Amino acid sequence: MDYELDLDDEGKPYLKVALTDYALMANSLLNKGMSFTRNEREQFGLIGLLPPHISNLETQRERSYLAVTGKPTDLEKYVYLRDLQDSNETLFYDLLCHHIEELLPIIYTPTVGLGCQRFSHVYRRPRGVFIAYPYLNEIDRILANPRFDHVRTIVVSDGERILGLGDQGAGGMGIPIGKLALYTTCAGLHPSTTLPVLLDTGTNNPDLLKDPLYIGWKHERVRGDDYARLIDAFVTAVKKRFPHVLLQWEDFAQLNANPLLERYRGQLCTFNDDIQGTAAVTAGTLFAAIHVTGTRLRDQRIVIAGAGSAGCGISSLIMRAMIKDGLTESEARKRFFLIDRQGLLTDDMTGLLPFQKPFAHSRSEIAHWPGGHNQPPGLKETVQNVHPTVLIGVSGQPRIFTEEIIRDMAAHVERPVIFPLSNPISMSEASSADILRWTHDKAIIGTGSPAGAVTRFGKSFRIDQTNNCYIFPGVGLGLIAVKSRLVTDEMFMAAASALADASPSKRDPDANLLAPLSEIRKISLHIAIAVAKEAIAAGLAEFNDIGNLEEHIRRHMWTPAYLPYRKI
């Protein structure tokens, strides 16, 4: 063990550290850079290996902030921050916590997409675990490394559907790294408890296969039984090595995402953020929006462009909320209109996936639409006939929310709710500025990527980024704190409700739907408590002391700071 937490005679924490000189400074969890004290430099053989000046975390943060903001491009900023993370994690997270609104778009969407595309070209140092298909029989040995003894949260991807960019192969590792950075920044999970994993099952991206710098397994993606064997071997090894782990699935292709979730959700504490996290943040933002519109959830007519895992996940969660608001399941389903590549989902379509079928309309329901008895209506025809109150985009198709469609929607709804959620911003269904112009500033908007400020009713206004970081860090914190055995849909409903409860618009209808990211730790704690209570109520939690729940969760939240070191 390289280090161990202990308390001094006054009850103050310090670390007992076994490493010395360059080995100590090369450990990103322990490195303090120039903030090692004179006494520590003496103990650990650092005299002369560092400049003589003794700094502090605040000064280091200022230096790092000037360095990152001085980079000319977002990719260079991303590379700088990844280097900082790999050299000094305390400084990295302190910097993020103090400048989260400015740096979140760099460490995650939209810049992380470019980071994944360029991953092999900017690769510096190893982080996390690459489990390639040829390692199928070596997973236990890989995970047995003592450096993973404290792991409580794993984010895993196979790199096949990275944001709206498609197959990025081993470059998809940028997503688990980025997600776990948000777990620490937004909810305070200690970085030593997090493990990013890339299941390298090959790639079908021809540019990667012919790239001499590509770092992944140069092989076409394995499918069928071979793929299933690797996934099952991985999950089995995880359950054995980490009995209380939270396993989060990220950016798996539609072909695999839902089946994997359904296969393993009853075996361990696991969820798919693209399906459930996206659903919860969308639902929570929608709950806040309809409070502004003064309407009931049960009365909404919802059109969703994109009938994949995310679109159906959003529909399923909101449908459950509509049922709670008094509709029958049959009535609730009829209020959703999902558009796939072929058009509106109808029950006579071939190739419908199991999770799509519940939202497919019968031909008789749309027979009165112009042409509804013939080809499936597209997005424009659906909006013209449904007159939706809510329009959500998770299609990955840029600019499909056209002026004609948005103006038609606004002609029939006083305050249209429009969420173009596809990432990165180049894939967004419409720009916020266009939507506001086409609706005469009446639209209530949430976007997937940062949209910045716009002018609304003559004043500068921050567009809400309906980012999963408002949900999954808090959900994970609550689950980990009470050691929940499973993750349920009710927990995500609790998270969505908690997010809506924290909305500034609840107090001022002209305010934002979502609190600023500067308040994200407070929001994550609020969500963690709601999720933990649901886990306890469902009998799934090992910790069930409601009276001490908040304090118990707070003890799981790490704040970046340097502790004193003593040599073992």
- 385 annotated as a binding-site residue: no
For this structure, is 32 an active site residue? no
Nearest to 188 by CA among 529, 533, 541, 525: 525
467 is in an annotated binding site: yes
Catalytic residue among 108, 183, 214, 264: 108
Task: Confirm whether 108 is a catalytic residue.
Answer: yes
Strand intervals (E) in 63-218: 129-132, 153-157, 194-200
273 contacts 249 by C-beta, under 8 angstroms: yes
Of 347, 352, 384, nearest in space to 363 by CA: 347
The tokens 């910790």 sit on which residue?
A: 543
Q: Which one, of 72, 132, 63, lies nearest residue 92 by Cα?
A: 63
User: Is residue 399 left, alpha or beta, with left meaning phi > 0 and alpha meaning psi from -120 to 50?
Assistant: left
Over the range 29-43, which residues count as b (16 or more CB within 10 Å of their CB) and which as e? ebbbbebbeeebbeb
Q: Is 461 helix (H, G, I), strand (E, B) or coil?
A: strand
Greatest CA separation for the chain: 83
Show the DSSP H helices in 379-450 as ranges: 379-386, 403-412, 432-438
The per-residue b/e assignment along 99-130, b for 16 or more CB within 10 angstroms, e otherwise, is: bbeebbbbbbbbbbbbbbbbbbebbeeebbbb
Report residue 482 as tokens.
Answer: 């009470």
Instruction: Compute how many other C-beta atoms are within 10 angstroms of the C-beta atom of residue 21.
Output: 13
Helix, strand, coil percentages in the chain from 3-state DSSP, rounded to 5: 50, 15, 40
What does the buried/exposed string (b/e) look like for 411-437 if buried means 16 or more CB atoms within 10 Å of the residue's CB? eebebbbbbbbbbbbebbbbbbebbbb
Catalytic residue among 78, 179, 470, 562: 179
Smallest Cα–Cα separation from 560: which of 95, 182, 100, 105?
A: 95
Q: From residue 333, how far is each of 303, 346, 361, 387 by CA, in Å?
A: 12, 13, 9, 16
Q: Would you say 192 and 140 are in contact if contact means Cβ atoms under 8 Å apart?
A: no
CA–CA separation, 108 vs 250, rounded Å? 13
Ligand-binding site membership of 423 (annotated): yes
For 126-165, the DSSP string reads --SEEEEGGGGGGHHHHHT-GGGTT--EEEEE-SSSBTTT
> What amino acid positions are annotated as catalytic residues?
108, 179
Binding-site residues for a divalent metal cation, in ranges, read 250-251, 274
Q: What are the binding residues for (S)-malate? A: 161, 423, 467
Q: Which segments are annotated as binding site?
A: 161, 250-251, 274, 423, 467
